[in-house]
Amino acid sequence: MSIQAIKPGWWQKPLDGQEKIWLSIAFVWCLVITIIMPWWHVVGSHNMSGEYHKITGGDFSMLTDQFIEKYKVGMDEGIPVVVPPANSDIFLRGAQWEWDPVLKLKAGSTYRLHLSSIDVNHGVSIQPVNMNFQAVPGYDSILTITPTTKGEYRIICNEFCGAGHHTMIGKLVIE
């Protein structure tokens, strides 16, 4: 409650000069931001635009299993390791509480990454570069990626997915 009662009709008073200036600045700034956001999405190099298709968890698992069977070169702590050829479609499946397979990719090569979850929403955070995506059940999210820096990266689930969420860490190796 205010110290003094507000006088009726206060909103009908004309704006002061400074109020007009600040309202004009705020309005122009809103227009600038409204124009810059879609423009920057098109010309900026930070956005990963992708395509999305509906798919059942069973169908995505079948495609991922076929991919693993075709390119599997070994195992890493019970998770299959795959080395797909450059310019190919690669698959990453999220399930409580693991990412599979371990992807070994060639630096400088382009891949189409198919990403989905077969149970609940999972957040895909590739560390330490801090790239973030969503693995959504029922959707095949396709991202075109070209890894440039060699190293081993962790794929961390950053969307709470249940009791074992803290153990959901995958691996991406760029050679």
Instruction: Give 89-126 pLDDT, tens digit per residue.
Output: 999 999 999 999 999 999 999 999 999 999 999 999 99
Give the rounded distance of the alpha carbon of 167 from its chain centre: 19
Structure tokens at 50: 């992708």
Side-chain-side CA neighbours of 67 within 13 Å: the count stands at 26
142's tokens: 């396709």
Cβ–Cβ under 8 Å, residues 117 and 93: yes
Please state, in angstroms and rounded to a whole number, the distance separating the CA atoms of residues 140 and 52: 6
Tens digit of each residue's pLDDT (9 = 90 or more) over 64-87: 999 999 999 999 999 999 999 999
Cβ(97)–Cβ(161) under 8 Å? yes
pLDDT of residue 105: 96
Fold designation for 50-174: Immunoglobulin-like (2.60.40)
Question: What pTM was computed for the model?
Answer: 0.74
DSSP string, 98-117: EEE-EEEE-TT--EEEEEEE
The confidence score (pLDDT) of residue 11 equals 80
